A and B are shown apart, each in its own frame.
Chain A
Amino acid sequence: MFHSPSARQVARTPADLAPMPLYRPETISEALAALHESGGTIYAGGTDFFAGVRQGLSPKALIWVAAIAEMKGCTIDSNGLHMGALNTHDESVAAPELDAVPGLAEAWSKIATVRIRHQATLGGNLMARRERYELSILLTALGATARMVGPELQVDMPVQDLWQADLEKTPLLASITIPLDNAPMLAYERSMRPTFTQALCRRGQALRCVMATEWLQPWFKDAPLDADAGQMMSGLPADFHDPAVSRAHLVRAGSVFLKRQIARLEDLA
């Protein structure tokens, strides 16, 4: 016998969850109070949450944030384009404000499936902190910041810093802001997914290129508009490879894609 009779043959399922306290805050401050009181887990669209349950997540309480109106919608002001963390992928793509960043809605519309896009949120995509999810890649390219809030503190941090962020003091992602200075535009290449994806933002005379794989946190490089694609890609760190793809391949294929994407953005401009 390979397994003892008591060993589980399948992963945990939602049926293994114990009944737990449930909160349904309608404001950010209610959500923070509920988190503080219960030590619970934030629940938004739930599309990643249940993958977590199968991997062992067992929340003490649920903070179901879907009714927090101030975490929804898109607006534009002098600081940039603001997007609520509770926007679903569908809602984001349909928002006219996204036209302020040519290429963003098109790239975003490629994510996931019809059924998932209707339910999955921007906040959940980022806060699941899974390398294979793509909004971190797009938003890092666009130099976006995440507004993290806690009972006593509010911090605006670059999206790429979310990977390492300590969520003790600021557990809730309220919104994302993309600065609109120098007219950013985005090109995104995911045809090689899951091997790698590449996002490129052009902002005035500057480029930001992001490379990501299924297993690695996104890497980015800033360069002037006339930079050489091969040289940009050769900046990939020595340890940027995973079991599915070598660094040499990423540099080679990444350079080819990057040249194409620079041309694409030239056309858009």
Chain B
Amino acid sequence: MSLISKDGALRVAFTLNGRETTVETVTSRVLSDLLRDDMNLKGTRVSCGRTVCGACSVLVDGFPRAACSTFAFEVEGRDVQTIEGVEAPDGTLDPVQAAFAAKSAFQCGFCTSGMILLAKSLLATHPDPDRATIIAWISSNICRCTGYELIVEAVQDAARAMREGPKS
């Protein structure tokens, strides 16, 4: 029988920022509310709430997905990464974060966690992306402040830094 929950209550087990996690939730809970309101992970921003702007992007199995438009039950058994899981445990910034900071690739910062995760996914699959590829990916999300150019440059810088490895 295909009924998973009759009364709307359910348990979801998934990996969150590298940790096995199980939550008791309801079928109508979306991932962004689960993260922000139930797990106090406020780095995932919510703006349009309808899949368009990408401010709420998280990585699900390494690919960007709008958390505002993903039910919590959809991540059962999957790997979820939020902005809180991007920096190293000792607080060292990820190369993409470092490049965004160095370039000031943000103004209000509302889109930034989504943009950084988008860029991480891009660079995981395209270590040396050309400008057109970066633009194609970055256009998935909306930034109302920067005009995108600094974001594109930050992604190029991060790609370079990741290819060259850590400076000794």
Please give, as numbers and ranges, the residues of chain B lying within 8 Å of A114 by CB-CB distance.
Answer: 64, 136-137, 139-140
CB interface residues, A 188-235, toward B, < 8 Å: none
CB interface residues, B 111-153, toward A, < 8 Å: 118, 136-137, 139-141
Q: How far is the CA of A119 from the CA of B58 in the complex (A)?
A: 13
Please give, as numbers and ranges, the residues of chain A lying within 8 Å of B7 by CB-CB distance.
Answer: 19, 21
Please give, as numbers and ranges, the residues of chain A lying within 8 Å of B9 by CB-CB distance.
Answer: 19
| Chain B residue with Cβ nearest A118 | B63
| Chain B residue with Cβ nearest A58 | B28
Q: Does A130 contact B (CB under 8 A)?
A: no
Is B5 touching A115 in the complex (CB atoms < 8 A)? no
**How distant is B144 from chain A, measured CB to nearest CB, in Å?**
17
**How distant is A36 from chain B, measured CB to nearest CB, in Å?**
12
Per a CB cutoff under 8 Å, which of B2, B30, B141 touches A115? B141
Assuming the contacts A54-B49, A54-B50, asked whether A26 and B2 have C-beta atoms less than 8 A apart, the reply is: yes
Q: How far is the CA of A46 from the CA of B30 in the complex (A)?
A: 11
By secondary structure, the A interface counts as mixed
| Chain B residue with Cβ nearest A49 | B69
**How distant is A222 from chain B, measured CB to nearest CB, in Å?**
35
Q: For the side of the interface on A, what is the size category? A: 35 or more
Assuming the contacts A14-B33, A115-B140, asked whether A20 and B28 have C-beta atoms less than 8 A apart, the reply is: yes
Q: How far is the CA of A50 from the CA of B47 in the complex (A)?
A: 13
Is A50 touching B50 in the complex (CB atoms < 8 A)? yes
Q: Does B45 contact A (CB under 8 A)?
A: no
Per a CB cutoff under 8 Å, which of B8, B30, B63, B64 touches A19? B8
Is A18 touching B28 in the complex (CB atoms < 8 A)? yes
Q: How far is the CA of A51 from the CA of B48 in the complex (A)?
A: 10
Please give, as numbers and ranges, the residues of chain B lying within 8 Å of A54 by CB-CB distance.
Answer: 49-50
Chain A, residues 35-60, CB within 8 Å of chain B (1/0): the string is 00000000100111111011000000
| Chain B residue with Cβ nearest A25 | B2
Please give, as numbers and ranges, the residues of chain A lying within 8 Å of B118 by CB-CB distance.
Answer: 115
Is A119 touching B50 in the complex (CB atoms < 8 A)? no
Q: Does A247 contact B (CB under 8 A)?
A: no
Q: How far is the CA of A151 from the CA of B64 in the complex (A)?
A: 36
**How distant is B49 from chain A, measured CB to nearest CB, in Å?**
5
Please give, as numbers and ranges, the residues of chain A lying within 8 Å of B26 by CB-CB distance.
Answer: 19
Q: Does A23 contact B (CB under 8 A)?
A: yes
Q: Does A64 contact B (CB under 8 A)?
A: yes
Chain B, residues 62-88, CB within 8 Å of chain A (1/0): the string is 011110111101100000000000000
Is A22 touching B73 in the complex (CB atoms < 8 A)? yes
| Chain A residue with Cβ nearest B138 | A114
Q: How far is the CA of A143 from the CA of B66 in the complex (A)?
A: 34
Q: Does B10 contact A (CB under 8 A)?
A: yes
Is A21 touching B8 in the complex (CB atoms < 8 A)? yes
Q: Does B15 contact A (CB under 8 A)?
A: no
Identify the B interface with A (CB < 8 A).
Answer: 1-10, 26-28, 30, 33, 49-51, 54, 57, 63-66, 68-71, 73-74, 118, 136-137, 139-141
Identify the A interface with B (CB < 8 A).
Answer: 13-15, 17-26, 30-31, 33-34, 43, 46-51, 53-54, 62, 64, 66, 113-116, 118-119
For the complex of A and B, the 7 pairs showing the least CB-CB separation, nearest first, are A19-B8, A115-B140, A19-B26, A17-B28, A25-B2, A50-B69, A113-B140
9 A–B contact pairs at CB < 8 A?
A21-B8, A22-B27, A23-B3, A30-B2, A43-B71, A54-B49, A115-B57, A115-B118, A116-B51
